[in-house]
Chains A and B, each alone.
Chain A
Amino acid sequence: MNEHRPVSEADLHAYADGFLDQADCRRVEEHLAENPEMARMVADWQAQNDGLKNAFAPYAISRSTDGQLIAGTAVLSKPALYRRLATAAAVGFIFMVGGLFGHFAPMLIEKPSTEGEGLAQEARNAYLIYASEVRHPVEVFADQEAHLASWLGKRLSIADLRIPNLHSIGFRLIGGRLLPVADKPGALFMYEDKTGRRVTVLVGRNEESRRTSFRIASSESVETFYWIDGDLGYAVTGDIPRELLQAIAQECYRQFDV
Protein backbone atom coordinates (compact mmCIF):
# COMPACT_ATOMS: atom_id res chain seq x y z
CA MET A 1 0.00 0.00 0.00
CA ASN A 2 1.23 3.44 -0.82
CA GLU A 3 0.66 5.51 2.31
CA HIS A 4 0.90 8.76 0.38
CA ARG A 5 -1.54 7.96 -2.38
CA PRO A 6 -3.99 10.89 -2.41
CA VAL A 7 -7.50 10.18 -1.16
CA SER A 8 -9.99 10.34 -4.01
CA GLU A 9 -13.72 10.85 -3.80
CA ALA A 10 -14.14 7.22 -4.80
CA ASP A 11 -12.08 6.31 -1.74
CA LEU A 12 -14.41 8.33 0.46
CA HIS A 13 -17.46 6.50 -0.91
CA ALA A 14 -15.78 3.14 -0.54
CA TYR A 15 -14.85 4.07 3.02
CA ALA A 16 -18.42 5.09 3.85
CA ASP A 17 -19.69 1.84 2.35
CA GLY A 18 -17.15 -0.33 4.15
CA PHE A 19 -15.45 -1.59 1.00
CA LEU A 20 -11.89 -0.63 1.97
CA ASP A 21 -9.28 -2.88 3.51
CA GLN A 22 -7.56 -1.91 6.75
CA ALA A 23 -4.65 -0.07 5.19
CA ASP A 24 -6.88 2.04 2.96
CA CYS A 25 -9.23 2.71 5.86
CA ARG A 26 -6.36 4.11 7.85
CA ARG A 27 -5.23 6.23 4.93
CA VAL A 28 -8.72 7.72 4.55
CA GLU A 29 -9.17 8.22 8.30
CA GLU A 30 -5.93 10.15 8.51
CA HIS A 31 -7.08 12.33 5.67
CA LEU A 32 -10.47 12.91 7.29
CA ALA A 33 -8.84 13.85 10.59
CA GLU A 34 -7.24 16.79 8.81
CA ASN A 35 -10.38 17.76 6.92
CA PRO A 36 -13.27 18.15 9.34
CA GLU A 37 -15.75 19.35 6.71
CA MET A 38 -15.02 16.29 4.60
CA ALA A 39 -15.30 14.11 7.70
CA ARG A 40 -18.78 15.54 8.37
CA MET A 41 -19.76 14.79 4.80
CA VAL A 42 -18.64 11.17 5.05
CA ALA A 43 -20.38 10.82 8.41
CA ASP A 44 -23.55 12.14 6.77
CA TRP A 45 -23.23 9.57 3.99
CA GLN A 46 -22.91 6.83 6.57
CA ALA A 47 -25.95 8.14 8.39
CA GLN A 48 -27.81 8.10 5.06
CA ASN A 49 -26.81 4.49 4.56
CA ASP A 50 -28.04 3.49 8.00
CA GLY A 51 -31.23 5.49 7.60
CA LEU A 52 -32.01 3.99 4.20
CA LYS A 53 -31.30 0.45 5.39
CA ASN A 54 -33.62 0.94 8.34
CA ALA A 55 -36.32 2.60 6.29
CA PHE A 56 -36.62 -0.18 3.76
CA ALA A 57 -35.67 -3.23 5.81
CA PRO A 58 -39.31 -3.73 6.89
CA TYR A 59 -40.24 -4.40 3.27
CA ALA A 60 -37.96 -7.40 2.87
CA ILE A 61 -40.71 -9.80 3.84
CA SER A 62 -42.58 -12.66 2.28
CA ARG A 63 -46.29 -12.24 1.78
CA SER A 64 -48.94 -14.93 1.81
CA THR A 65 -49.78 -13.89 -1.76
CA ASP A 66 -46.25 -14.48 -3.05
CA GLY A 67 -47.10 -17.96 -4.28
CA GLN A 68 -50.00 -16.55 -6.28
CA LEU A 69 -47.74 -13.89 -7.67
CA ILE A 70 -45.51 -16.58 -9.11
CA ALA A 71 -48.23 -18.99 -10.14
CA GLY A 72 -50.81 -16.40 -11.18
CA THR A 73 -48.58 -14.34 -13.37
CA ALA A 74 -46.95 -17.29 -15.03
CA VAL A 75 -49.82 -17.61 -17.49
CA LEU A 76 -49.90 -14.00 -18.65
CA SER A 77 -48.56 -13.44 -22.09
CA LYS A 78 -47.96 -9.70 -21.94
CA PRO A 79 -46.35 -7.65 -19.23
CA ALA A 80 -48.60 -5.70 -16.94
CA LEU A 81 -46.66 -2.63 -17.88
CA TYR A 82 -47.52 -3.13 -21.51
CA ARG A 83 -51.15 -3.58 -20.64
CA ARG A 84 -51.14 -0.48 -18.48
CA LEU A 85 -49.59 1.66 -21.13
CA ALA A 86 -51.64 0.21 -23.93
CA THR A 87 -53.29 2.95 -25.86
CA ALA A 88 -56.87 3.09 -26.96
CA ALA A 89 -55.62 2.33 -30.43
CA ALA A 90 -54.61 -1.11 -29.31
CA VAL A 91 -58.08 -1.89 -28.08
CA GLY A 92 -60.09 -3.91 -30.50
CA PHE A 93 -63.78 -3.32 -30.63
CA ILE A 94 -66.25 -6.04 -31.15
CA PHE A 95 -69.79 -5.02 -31.60
CA MET A 96 -72.33 -7.23 -30.14
CA VAL A 97 -75.03 -8.62 -32.28
CA GLY A 98 -77.97 -10.02 -30.47
CA GLY A 99 -81.02 -8.96 -28.61
CA LEU A 100 -79.71 -8.10 -25.24
CA PHE A 101 -82.42 -5.61 -24.52
CA GLY A 102 -85.58 -4.91 -26.42
CA HIS A 103 -85.33 -1.15 -26.42
CA PHE A 104 -81.81 -1.22 -27.69
CA ALA A 105 -82.86 -3.15 -30.75
CA PRO A 106 -82.65 -0.24 -33.21
CA MET A 107 -79.10 0.45 -32.23
CA LEU A 108 -77.79 -3.02 -31.87
CA ILE A 109 -75.47 -2.84 -34.78
CA GLU A 110 -73.61 0.39 -34.75
CA LYS A 111 -71.02 1.77 -37.00
CA PRO A 112 -67.63 1.70 -35.40
CA SER A 113 -67.16 4.94 -33.59
CA THR A 114 -64.84 6.31 -31.02
CA GLU A 115 -67.65 7.27 -28.73
CA GLY A 116 -67.15 5.76 -25.31
CA GLU A 117 -63.71 4.57 -26.28
CA GLY A 118 -62.22 6.77 -23.61
CA LEU A 119 -64.62 5.35 -21.11
CA ALA A 120 -63.64 1.80 -21.96
CA GLN A 121 -59.98 2.69 -21.75
CA GLU A 122 -60.39 4.38 -18.41
CA ALA A 123 -62.38 1.43 -17.11
CA ARG A 124 -59.68 -0.91 -18.25
CA ASN A 125 -56.90 1.12 -16.67
CA ALA A 126 -58.81 1.37 -13.42
CA TYR A 127 -59.31 -2.38 -13.44
CA LEU A 128 -55.66 -3.10 -14.14
CA ILE A 129 -54.48 -0.73 -11.48
CA TYR A 130 -56.92 -1.44 -8.69
CA ALA A 131 -58.09 -5.02 -9.13
CA SER A 132 -54.55 -6.28 -8.58
CA GLU A 133 -54.30 -4.43 -5.30
CA VAL A 134 -54.20 -6.91 -2.49
CA ARG A 135 -54.38 -4.62 0.50
CA HIS A 136 -55.97 -1.45 -0.81
CA PRO A 137 -58.33 -2.38 -3.64
CA VAL A 138 -60.94 0.18 -2.58
CA GLU A 139 -61.23 3.30 -0.48
CA VAL A 140 -64.45 2.38 1.26
CA PHE A 141 -65.23 -1.25 1.95
CA ALA A 142 -68.57 -2.94 1.56
CA ASP A 143 -69.24 -2.90 5.30
CA GLN A 144 -70.05 0.77 4.80
CA GLU A 145 -72.13 0.32 1.70
CA ALA A 146 -74.73 2.96 2.56
CA HIS A 147 -72.00 5.53 3.16
CA LEU A 148 -70.27 4.49 -0.05
CA ALA A 149 -73.44 5.03 -2.07
CA SER A 150 -74.27 8.39 -0.55
CA TRP A 151 -70.69 9.66 -0.76
CA LEU A 152 -70.14 8.69 -4.39
CA GLY A 153 -73.68 9.75 -5.27
CA LYS A 154 -72.89 13.19 -3.93
CA ARG A 155 -69.59 13.44 -5.79
CA LEU A 156 -71.18 12.36 -9.07
CA SER A 157 -74.35 14.37 -8.50
CA ILE A 158 -76.53 11.31 -8.76
CA ALA A 159 -79.48 11.65 -6.43
CA ASP A 160 -79.98 7.97 -5.79
CA LEU A 161 -76.86 6.08 -6.76
CA ARG A 162 -77.48 2.37 -6.60
CA ILE A 163 -74.62 -0.01 -6.10
CA PRO A 164 -75.45 -3.10 -8.11
CA ASN A 165 -75.95 -6.27 -6.15
CA LEU A 166 -74.34 -9.19 -7.99
CA HIS A 167 -74.93 -11.95 -5.46
CA SER A 168 -77.16 -13.81 -7.88
CA ILE A 169 -74.15 -14.16 -10.21
CA GLY A 170 -71.80 -15.16 -7.44
CA PHE A 171 -69.95 -11.86 -6.99
CA ARG A 172 -69.91 -9.93 -3.74
CA LEU A 173 -69.14 -6.25 -3.34
CA ILE A 174 -65.66 -5.48 -1.99
CA GLY A 175 -66.22 -1.73 -1.94
CA GLY A 176 -65.63 1.31 -4.05
CA ARG A 177 -63.55 4.36 -4.70
CA LEU A 178 -63.69 7.80 -6.20
CA LEU A 179 -61.58 8.31 -9.30
CA PRO A 180 -61.43 10.68 -12.22
CA VAL A 181 -63.38 9.66 -15.31
CA ALA A 182 -63.04 12.04 -18.25
CA ASP A 183 -61.69 14.63 -15.82
CA LYS A 184 -64.77 14.49 -13.63
CA PRO A 185 -65.49 12.57 -10.45
CA GLY A 186 -66.37 8.98 -11.22
CA ALA A 187 -67.14 5.91 -9.15
CA LEU A 188 -65.53 2.50 -9.24
CA PHE A 189 -67.11 -0.49 -7.57
CA MET A 190 -65.23 -3.72 -7.18
CA TYR A 191 -66.62 -7.22 -6.82
CA GLU A 192 -65.06 -10.56 -6.16
CA ASP A 193 -66.22 -14.16 -6.50
CA LYS A 194 -65.33 -17.11 -4.31
CA THR A 195 -62.23 -17.92 -6.31
CA GLY A 196 -60.88 -14.38 -6.00
CA ARG A 197 -61.73 -13.26 -9.53
CA ARG A 198 -62.50 -9.57 -9.58
CA VAL A 199 -64.64 -7.36 -11.75
CA THR A 200 -65.02 -3.61 -11.61
CA VAL A 201 -68.00 -1.42 -12.44
CA LEU A 202 -67.18 2.13 -13.44
CA VAL A 203 -69.69 4.97 -13.51
CA GLY A 204 -68.80 8.34 -14.99
CA ARG A 205 -70.45 11.49 -16.20
CA ASN A 206 -70.85 11.74 -19.94
CA GLU A 207 -70.46 14.96 -21.91
CA GLU A 208 -73.80 14.86 -23.63
CA SER A 209 -76.95 13.00 -22.87
CA ARG A 210 -77.53 10.05 -25.21
CA ARG A 211 -77.95 6.33 -25.35
CA THR A 212 -75.80 3.69 -26.92
CA SER A 213 -75.93 -0.02 -27.24
CA PHE A 214 -73.73 -2.33 -25.28
CA ARG A 215 -70.25 -2.43 -26.64
CA ILE A 216 -67.35 -4.57 -25.81
CA ALA A 217 -63.69 -3.65 -25.81
CA SER A 218 -61.16 -6.38 -25.33
CA SER A 219 -57.44 -6.44 -25.15
CA GLU A 220 -55.51 -9.44 -24.00
CA SER A 221 -57.77 -11.31 -21.66
CA VAL A 222 -59.30 -8.23 -20.07
CA GLU A 223 -62.66 -7.22 -21.48
CA THR A 224 -64.93 -4.26 -20.89
CA PHE A 225 -68.64 -4.01 -21.57
CA TYR A 226 -69.70 -0.40 -21.71
CA TRP A 227 -72.69 1.69 -22.51
CA ILE A 228 -73.96 5.22 -22.18
CA ASP A 229 -77.37 5.89 -20.77
CA GLY A 230 -78.41 9.50 -20.53
CA ASP A 231 -75.57 11.54 -19.16
CA LEU A 232 -73.92 8.64 -17.42
CA GLY A 233 -71.48 6.16 -18.86
CA TYR A 234 -71.04 2.69 -17.45
CA ALA A 235 -68.31 0.11 -17.92
CA VAL A 236 -67.96 -3.40 -16.53
CA THR A 237 -64.45 -4.82 -16.71
CA GLY A 238 -63.01 -8.18 -15.84
CA ASP A 239 -60.71 -10.99 -16.77
CA ILE A 240 -63.41 -13.65 -16.80
CA PRO A 241 -65.29 -15.52 -19.52
CA ARG A 242 -67.24 -13.20 -21.75
CA GLU A 243 -70.62 -14.80 -21.04
CA LEU A 244 -70.14 -14.20 -17.35
CA LEU A 245 -69.00 -10.62 -17.86
CA GLN A 246 -71.97 -10.05 -20.11
CA ALA A 247 -74.34 -11.44 -17.49
CA ILE A 248 -72.85 -9.04 -14.97
CA ALA A 249 -73.15 -6.12 -17.37
CA GLN A 250 -76.78 -6.96 -18.02
CA GLU A 251 -77.49 -7.22 -14.34
CA CYS A 252 -75.82 -3.86 -13.70
CA TYR A 253 -77.77 -2.30 -16.53
CA ARG A 254 -81.00 -3.66 -15.12
CA GLN A 255 -80.26 -2.36 -11.64
CA PHE A 256 -78.92 1.03 -12.69
CA ASP A 257 -81.86 1.59 -14.97
CA VAL A 258 -84.53 1.29 -12.29
Chain B
Amino acid sequence: MPRSPDPRGARTDGGGGGASSPLSFDAEVLALLPQLRRYSRSLTRSDAESEDLLQDCVEKVLRNRVQWRGVNMRAWAYRIMTNLHLNTRRALARRPAVGIEAADGVAAPIAPPDPLERNRLVQALQSLPDEARAVLMLVAVEGHSYQEVAGILEIPVGTVMSRLSRARQALRQKLQEENVIQLRSPR
Protein backbone atom coordinates (compact mmCIF):
# COMPACT_ATOMS: atom_id res chain seq x y z
CA MET B 1 0.00 0.00 0.00
CA PRO B 2 1.47 3.31 -0.93
CA ARG B 3 1.72 5.93 1.72
CA SER B 4 2.33 9.54 1.13
CA PRO B 5 6.03 10.17 1.07
CA ASP B 6 8.08 11.08 4.00
CA PRO B 7 8.61 14.82 3.76
CA ARG B 8 12.24 14.45 4.83
CA GLY B 9 14.48 15.74 2.08
CA ALA B 10 11.60 16.11 -0.31
CA ARG B 11 11.04 19.45 -1.86
CA THR B 12 7.52 20.19 -2.85
CA ASP B 13 7.89 21.39 -6.37
CA GLY B 14 6.12 20.28 -9.49
CA GLY B 15 2.57 20.42 -8.26
CA GLY B 16 3.25 19.35 -4.71
CA GLY B 17 1.65 20.37 -1.56
CA GLY B 18 -1.45 21.90 -0.22
CA ALA B 19 -5.10 21.63 -0.96
CA SER B 20 -6.92 18.35 -0.88
CA SER B 21 -10.43 19.04 -2.09
CA PRO B 22 -11.51 16.55 -4.77
CA LEU B 23 -11.50 19.15 -7.49
CA SER B 24 -8.01 20.40 -6.83
CA PHE B 25 -6.78 16.84 -6.41
CA ASP B 26 -7.92 15.99 -9.93
CA ALA B 27 -6.47 19.25 -11.21
CA GLU B 28 -3.13 18.46 -9.61
CA VAL B 29 -3.04 15.01 -11.13
CA LEU B 30 -3.88 16.53 -14.48
CA ALA B 31 -1.05 19.03 -14.15
CA LEU B 32 1.36 16.21 -13.30
CA LEU B 33 0.47 14.11 -16.34
CA PRO B 34 3.18 15.46 -18.69
CA GLN B 35 5.93 14.65 -16.18
CA LEU B 36 4.38 11.30 -15.38
CA ARG B 37 4.14 10.54 -19.08
CA ARG B 38 7.82 11.32 -19.52
CA TYR B 39 8.80 9.19 -16.53
CA SER B 40 6.56 6.36 -17.71
CA ARG B 41 8.16 6.40 -21.13
CA SER B 42 11.64 6.46 -19.65
CA LEU B 43 10.92 3.30 -17.66
CA THR B 44 9.23 1.31 -20.40
CA ARG B 45 10.15 -0.10 -23.74
CA SER B 46 7.45 1.19 -26.01
CA ASP B 47 4.83 3.89 -26.38
CA ALA B 48 2.05 1.38 -25.80
CA GLU B 49 3.62 0.00 -22.65
CA SER B 50 4.20 3.54 -21.47
CA GLU B 51 0.59 4.61 -21.94
CA ASP B 52 -0.58 1.47 -20.13
CA LEU B 53 1.66 2.25 -17.21
CA LEU B 54 0.52 5.85 -17.13
CA GLN B 55 -3.09 4.75 -17.13
CA ASP B 56 -2.53 2.20 -14.37
CA CYS B 57 -0.75 4.83 -12.34
CA VAL B 58 -3.45 7.47 -12.75
CA GLU B 59 -6.11 4.95 -11.78
CA LYS B 60 -4.20 4.01 -8.68
CA VAL B 61 -3.50 7.60 -7.72
CA LEU B 62 -7.17 8.48 -8.04
CA ARG B 63 -8.31 5.41 -6.18
CA ASN B 64 -5.91 6.04 -3.35
CA ARG B 65 -6.63 9.72 -3.02
CA VAL B 66 -7.69 9.30 0.59
CA GLN B 67 -4.23 8.04 1.45
CA TRP B 68 -2.55 11.11 0.13
CA ARG B 69 -1.54 13.36 2.98
CA GLY B 70 -1.16 16.46 0.89
CA VAL B 71 2.60 16.51 1.16
CA ASN B 72 4.26 15.96 -2.18
CA MET B 73 2.00 14.56 -4.82
CA ARG B 74 4.70 14.33 -7.43
CA ALA B 75 6.90 12.09 -5.31
CA TRP B 76 3.88 10.02 -4.30
CA ALA B 77 2.78 9.53 -7.90
CA TYR B 78 6.33 8.66 -8.95
CA ARG B 79 6.49 6.02 -6.27
CA ILE B 80 3.20 4.50 -7.35
CA MET B 81 4.32 4.42 -10.95
CA THR B 82 7.70 2.91 -10.11
CA ASN B 83 6.12 0.18 -8.01
CA LEU B 84 3.49 -0.63 -10.62
CA HIS B 85 6.19 -0.90 -13.23
CA LEU B 86 8.48 -3.09 -11.16
CA ASN B 87 5.58 -5.34 -10.20
CA THR B 88 4.52 -5.76 -13.78
CA ARG B 89 8.03 -6.46 -14.91
CA ARG B 90 8.42 -9.06 -12.20
CA ALA B 91 5.10 -10.64 -13.02
CA LEU B 92 5.76 -10.90 -16.71
CA ALA B 93 8.41 -13.21 -17.94
CA ARG B 94 11.46 -11.13 -18.53
CA ARG B 95 11.73 -10.41 -22.16
CA PRO B 96 15.09 -9.74 -23.76
CA ALA B 97 13.30 -6.69 -25.08
CA VAL B 98 14.75 -4.12 -27.44
CA GLY B 99 12.56 -3.87 -30.42
CA ILE B 100 11.75 -1.65 -33.26
CA GLU B 101 8.96 0.01 -31.40
CA ALA B 102 11.22 1.13 -28.59
CA ALA B 103 13.44 2.94 -31.03
CA ASP B 104 10.62 4.23 -33.19
CA GLY B 105 8.65 5.53 -30.28
CA VAL B 106 11.39 7.85 -29.24
CA ALA B 107 11.44 9.52 -32.60
CA ALA B 108 8.00 10.82 -31.74
CA PRO B 109 7.16 14.50 -31.37
CA ILE B 110 10.43 16.44 -31.45
CA ALA B 111 13.63 15.27 -33.08
CA PRO B 112 16.60 15.95 -30.82
CA PRO B 113 19.92 16.81 -32.45
CA ASP B 114 21.41 13.39 -33.08
CA PRO B 115 18.81 10.69 -33.61
CA LEU B 116 21.42 7.98 -34.06
CA GLU B 117 23.02 8.70 -30.70
CA ARG B 118 19.63 8.94 -29.07
CA ASN B 119 18.54 5.58 -30.43
CA ARG B 120 21.76 3.97 -29.29
CA LEU B 121 21.26 5.36 -25.83
CA VAL B 122 17.65 4.24 -25.58
CA GLN B 123 18.55 0.80 -26.91
CA ALA B 124 21.32 0.54 -24.34
CA LEU B 125 18.78 1.33 -21.60
CA GLN B 126 17.07 -1.98 -22.29
CA SER B 127 20.06 -3.80 -20.87
CA LEU B 128 19.73 -2.17 -17.44
CA PRO B 129 18.06 -3.89 -14.49
CA ASP B 130 14.66 -2.23 -13.94
CA GLU B 131 15.49 -1.03 -10.43
CA ALA B 132 18.71 0.63 -11.52
CA ARG B 133 17.01 2.14 -14.52
CA ALA B 134 14.33 3.74 -12.35
CA VAL B 135 17.00 5.39 -10.17
CA LEU B 136 18.90 6.73 -13.17
CA MET B 137 15.72 8.13 -14.74
CA LEU B 138 14.63 9.80 -11.53
CA VAL B 139 18.02 11.49 -11.26
CA ALA B 140 18.97 12.19 -14.85
CA VAL B 141 15.60 12.83 -16.50
CA GLU B 142 13.35 13.87 -13.63
CA GLY B 143 16.01 15.87 -11.81
CA HIS B 144 15.55 14.48 -8.29
CA SER B 145 18.26 14.63 -5.65
CA TYR B 146 19.57 11.32 -4.28
CA GLN B 147 17.74 12.01 -1.05
CA GLU B 148 14.48 12.53 -2.89
CA VAL B 149 14.96 9.34 -4.89
CA ALA B 150 15.53 7.48 -1.63
CA GLY B 151 12.25 8.93 -0.35
CA ILE B 152 10.32 8.08 -3.51
CA LEU B 153 11.55 4.51 -3.71
CA GLU B 154 11.71 3.99 0.05
CA ILE B 155 15.26 2.72 -0.05
CA PRO B 156 18.41 3.94 1.74
CA VAL B 157 20.48 6.60 0.01
CA GLY B 158 23.35 4.12 -0.13
CA THR B 159 21.19 1.84 -2.26
CA VAL B 160 20.29 4.76 -4.51
CA MET B 161 23.98 5.43 -5.04
CA SER B 162 24.89 1.83 -5.77
CA ARG B 163 22.02 1.47 -8.25
CA LEU B 164 22.95 4.73 -9.90
CA SER B 165 26.53 3.61 -10.19
CA ARG B 166 25.53 0.26 -11.62
CA ALA B 167 23.22 1.88 -14.16
CA ARG B 168 25.82 4.37 -15.33
CA GLN B 169 28.60 1.84 -15.66
CA ALA B 170 26.38 -0.63 -17.49
CA LEU B 171 25.17 2.06 -19.86
CA ARG B 172 28.69 3.25 -20.53
CA GLN B 173 29.91 -0.25 -21.22
CA LYS B 174 26.98 -1.01 -23.48
CA LEU B 175 27.49 2.15 -25.50
CA GLN B 176 31.17 1.44 -25.94
CA GLU B 177 30.47 -2.15 -26.98
CA GLU B 178 27.81 -1.26 -29.47
CA ASN B 179 29.58 1.60 -31.11
CA VAL B 180 30.90 -0.39 -34.04
CA ILE B 181 27.76 -2.38 -34.66
CA GLN B 182 25.57 0.68 -34.64
CA LEU B 183 27.75 2.54 -37.09
CA ARG B 184 27.43 -0.35 -39.47
CA SER B 185 23.65 -0.29 -39.51
CA PRO B 186 22.34 3.12 -38.56
CA ARG B 187 18.60 3.53 -38.51
A to B contact number (C-beta, < 8 Å)? 125
Chain B stretch 142-180: residues in CB contact (< 8 A) with chain A: 145-146, 161, 164-165, 168, 171-172, 175
The answer to whether residues A81 and B88 also contact, given A13-B161, A55-B121 and a CB cut-off of 8 A, is yes
Q: Mark contacts of A145-165 with chain B using CB atoms, 8 A cut-off: 1 yes-contact digit, 0 otherwise.
A: 000000000000000000000
Contact B164 A13 (CB under 8 A): yes
Q: Is the CB of B168 within 8 A of A56?
A: no
B residues near A54, Cβ cutoff 8 Å: 112-113, 118
The proximity string for A residues 23-66 relative to B, scoring 1 for CB distances below 8 Å and 0 otherwise, is: 00000000000000000010011001101111111111111001
Contacts of B98 in A (CB 8 A): none
Given A56-B38, A56-B141, A133–B112 Cβ distance below 8 Å? Answer: no
Contact present for A73 and B59 (CB under 8 Å) = yes
Task: Judge if B42 is at the interface, Cβ distance under 8 Å.
Answer: yes
Q: Which residue of B lies closest to A136 (CB)?
A: B48
A58-B109 contact, Cβ under 8 Å, with A70-B26, A70-B62: yes
Query: Which stretch, B5-13, B28-36, B70-78, touches the partner chain A?
Result: B28-36
Is A113 close to B, CB under 8 A? Answer: no
Cβ 8 A contact of A59, one of B38, B88, B168, B171:
B38
Q: Does A258 contact B (CB under 8 A)?
A: no
CB neighbours of B37 from chain A (8 A): 59-61, 63
B66 shortest CB reach to chain A, Å: 13
With A54-B113, A56-B141 given, can you name 14 additional A-B contacts, CB distance below 8 Å?
Answer: A41-B172, A44-B175, A59-B38, A59-B108, A59-B109, A61-B34, A62-B34, A71-B26, A76-B59, A79-B59, A79-B84, A81-B87, A129-B52, A136-B48
* A61, B32: Cα distance in complex, Å: 10
Is A74 in the interface zone, CB < 8 Å from B?
Answer: yes
Give every chain A residue within 8 A of B26 (Cβ-Cβ): 70-71, 74
* A19 contacts chain B at the CB level, 8 A cutoff: yes
Closest A residue by C-beta to B55: A80
Check if B58 sits within 8 Å of A70, measured CB to CB. Answer: yes
Q: A73-B59, A79-B60, A79-B63 are in contact. Are A51 and B34 (CB under 8 A)?
A: no
**Closest beta carbon of chain B to A174's beta carbon, Å:** 16
12 A-B residue contacts at CB 8 Å?
A9-B165, A13-B161, A48-B172, A52-B140, A56-B141, A57-B38, A58-B108, A58-B109, A63-B33, A73-B58, A80-B55, A81-B84
- The answer to whether A132 has its CB under 8 Å from any CB of chain B is yes
A136, B34: Cα distance in complex, Å? 20
Grouping DSSP codes into helix (H, G, I), strand (E, B) and loop, the B interface class, with mixed when no group exceeds half, is helix
Give the top 8 A-B pairs by smallest Cβ distance, nearest first.
A60-B38, A54-B112, A59-B41, A58-B110, A59-B38, A60-B34, A58-B109, A73-B59
Given that A60-B37, A70-B58, A81-B84 are contacting pairs, would A51 and B139 also be in contact in the complex, using a CB cutoff of 8 Å? no
Please state if B41 and A56 are interface contacts (CB–CB under 8 Å): yes
Interface: A1 (CB within 8 A): no
Q: Let me know if A89 is at the binding interface, CB within 8 A.
A: no
Tell whether A134 is near chain B: CB-to-CB under 8 Å.
Answer: yes
Q: Is A85 an interface residue (CB 8 A)?
A: yes
CB neighbours (8 Å) of A58 from chain B are: 106, 108-110, 112
B112–A45 CB distance below 8 A: no
A94 surroundings in chain B (CB, below 8 A): none
> In the bound complex, what is the Cα–Cα distance between A134 and B58 (angstroms)?
16
Contact with A73, one of B41, B42, B62 (Cβ below 8 angstroms):
B62
A81 adjacent to B56 (CB under 8 Å): yes
Given the known inter-chain contacts A60-B38, A67-B30, A81-B84, please indicate yes or no for A52 contacting B59, CB distance below 8 A.
Answer: no
Given A41-B172, A45-B168, A53 and B113 contact (CB-CB distance below 8 Å): no
Cα separation A41 to B141 with both chains bound (whole Å): 19
CB of B68, distance to nearest CB on chain A (Å): 15
